[in-house]
Structure 1
Amino acid sequence: MAPSSESPGEPAFDAVILAGGEARRLGGADKPGLTVGGRSLVEHVVTAVADARTTIVVGPERPIPGVVFVREDPPRSGPVPALSAGLNGVTAPWVVLLAGDLPFITAPHVTSLLNAATTQLPDTTAAPAPSPSKAENPPPQPPAAPARPTPGETARSVSRGAAGPTPGDAAGTPANALRPITRDVAGAAAGGAAASTSGDAREPAPEEGPVGGAVMVDDGGREQWLAGVWPTARLKRALAAYPGRSLKGLLGPLTAVRLALPGRPWFDCDTMDDLEEARMNVLNEWTALACEELGIDPAAVDRDLILDLTKEVAHGVARPAAPLTAYLLGLAQGAGTAPDDAVAKLITLAKNWGQATAETLTDS
């Protein structure tokens, strides 16, 4: 996307979207170009990073305004070469790395990843950590007051191996609150500095920036390496020295935060079943919103039965007849003139449409 104006305190970032895979499980189809909810999959992802200074899509060029398109060399050579091609155009201190087939990811999800990554910046103003000898017998300290959550983030950071919530967590966490952020390094308490996970034990120099990034995890706790935020300078250095072809091998040592987010922003469309599930999710959302607008109880709508009706009418009569039939049914039900088996009768009529037409035409 074209450079955007950043809000005060908002971290500057570029976005790299990988949208050039082979889609073997989709029969080689143009996966990022498949549509969900009236937009292509890659357009959903581009919209989620609308606040990026620059959005770079690694894949075939498409009619999406404000996006920079590049290709890895050779094309379809894998995610690591694709990331390398995209990173060549990244100048912001942070880079959001996403797959091009994430229909449920939104801008708030990206913001949460950025918040999780940027709040583990090295704290140069904090007092030095105690030496090992002092740490063995630390002087008594009064209990620390619970830290307030950062804006837009209700999850807490916990150290590796922590069992249970950190002190001060509310018992009644809202259903849409973030799940806990897990730091992979000892001593990375909330608001503190996270040590490097790349094998470099020294503290980074100020110009080196943060020590790691944030990766999203799915509902099973598995890392989604094509849904994360990374410090640009460290990622470029790691990539230059990395001989492998695995994103996990490249990004794993750079990970400081693993983050679970509400909804299913990690859901990708690898198969036709995945694509159908994404489309049905859009249908569910539309049904709920339409019912709200019309003052209808969603529980009173037999969606699957109506879909069966419109399918039979579209196939047996004509496509434009399907929405018209659904509208006529609604009018009849609103007027109280529709019989209890109105849908069944209409389905039967559609299935026998050829015979019904012949009889009507011969009668005239």
Structure 2
Amino acid sequence: MTTRYDAVVLAGGAARRLGGTDKPALPVGGRTLLDRVLAACAGAERTVVVGPRRPTALPVRWTREQPAGGGPLPALAAGLGALAGPGGAEQVVVLAADLPFLTAPTVTALTSALSGDVEGVLLTDAGGRDQPLAAAYLTEPLRREIALLGAEHGGLTGLPLRLLTAELALTHIADPTGDASFDCDTWDDVSAARARLAGTQEP
């Protein structure tokens, strides 16, 4: 039986190391970075993109964090807020919008590993580092801990993601493809991704 999940894709941020370029809209391998991530989570019941509206190949819901540029926790809270209401899935996949090699099988591996007492499954990169923005979480514990953090700190702006993950019962899986956790933070990263995907021009 296929696991039901929603998806929140974080597509805001200032991209300072890219000179303020609209990073999710950058073309890589014939598609924008954002569209590549959306294709990987195309099996989601509902997908929310947190960030400025942009053209996308797949239908999504849009929302913005408050304040804009407040960091990943306000963005995640906004995404979960946009998913509020009846019919939501028990799991939510949380993804950065700059993962050019993320694939549907990796997303499936994350959601499939979320069972038992585990509240979240984080992808680990080749160096063993956790990737909280390439992960699957149980929706309600995620909402609970974000609300508690906001109450404890008087808001979420500027808080690091590690404060959230430290409060959840997590497990970790190695990157099944070896590439899914590669993100495009610099122009060198973008160039490397374009070179590797050259000749794979998907529509």
**One-letter code aligned to 1:43:** D
Aligned ranges 1:307-318 → 2 under 5 Å: none
Q: Which residue of 2 aligns with 1:116?
A: 113
The higher relative CO (CA closer than 8 Å, separation ≥ 6) is in 2
Aligned to 2:29: 37
Q: CA deviation at 1:35?
A: 0.8
Q: Distance in 2 between matches of 1:256 and 1:70?
A: 27
Distance 1:279 1:271, change over 3 A: same
Secondary structure at the aligned position of 1:229 is classed as: strand
The answer to whether the Cα contact below 8 Å between 2:25 and 2:34 also exists between their aligned partners in 1 is: yes
In the alignment, residue 109 of structure 1 is paired with which amino acid?
A: T
Helix, strand or coil at the partner of 1:259: strand
| Higher helix content, 1 or 2 | 1
- Cα offsets for 1:312-346 (capped at 9, x unmatched): xxxxxxxxxxxxxxxxxxxxxxxxxxxxxxxxxxx
- Contact kept, 8 Å, 2:12 with 2:51, in 1: the verdict is yes
Alignment of 1:101 with 2:98, yes or no, is: yes
Percent identity at matched positions?
Answer: 47
TM-score normalised by structure 1 residue count: 0.50
Letter in 1 for 2:59: G
User: Are the counterparts in 2 of residues 71 and 85 from structure 1 also a CA contact under 8 Å?
Assistant: yes
In the alignment, the residues of structure 2 paired with residue 53 and residue 19 of structure 1 have an alpha-carbon distance, to the nearest angstrom, of: 19
Partner of 1:271: 186
Is the 2:126–2:178 Cα contact (8 Å) retained in structure 1? no
Task: Give the structure with higher Rg (CA).
Answer: 1
Alignment-mate amino acid for residue 269 of structure 1: C
User: For the structure 1 residues 33 and 255, does the alpha-carbon distance in structure 2 shift closer, same or farther, using more than 3 Å as the test?
Assistant: farther
RMSD (Å) for aligned C-alpha atoms: 1.3
2:122 counterpart residue number: 215
- Is the CA contact (8 Å cut-off) linking 2:9 and 2:49 kept in structure 1? yes
- Kindly tell me the number of residue pairs found equivalent between the two proteins: 187
**CA drift at 1:256:** 2.3
Please name the residue that 2:9 is paired with: 17
Q: Detail structure 1 runs of 4+ shifted over 2 Å in the superposition.
A: none
> Greater strand share, 1 or 2?
2
Tell me, which stretches of 5 or more residues in structure 1 are unaligned?
1-8, 122-193, 195-210, 287-364
Q: Give the conservation status (yes or no) of the 8 Å contact 1:215–1:255.
A: no
Match of 1:229 among 130, 136, 154: 136
The CA deviation at 1:246 is 1.1
- Which secondary structure does the structure 2 equivalent of 1:88 belong to? helix
**Cα distance in 1, alignment partners of residues 168 and 184 from structure 2:** 26
Task: Kindly indicate whether the alpha-carbon contact (under 8 Å) linking 1:16 and 1:87 is maintained by their aligned counterparts in 2.
Answer: yes
1:65-116 C-alpha deviation (Å, 9 max, x unpaired): 4100100111111100000000012221100000000000010000000111
- Per the alignment, residue 57 of structure 1 pairs with 49
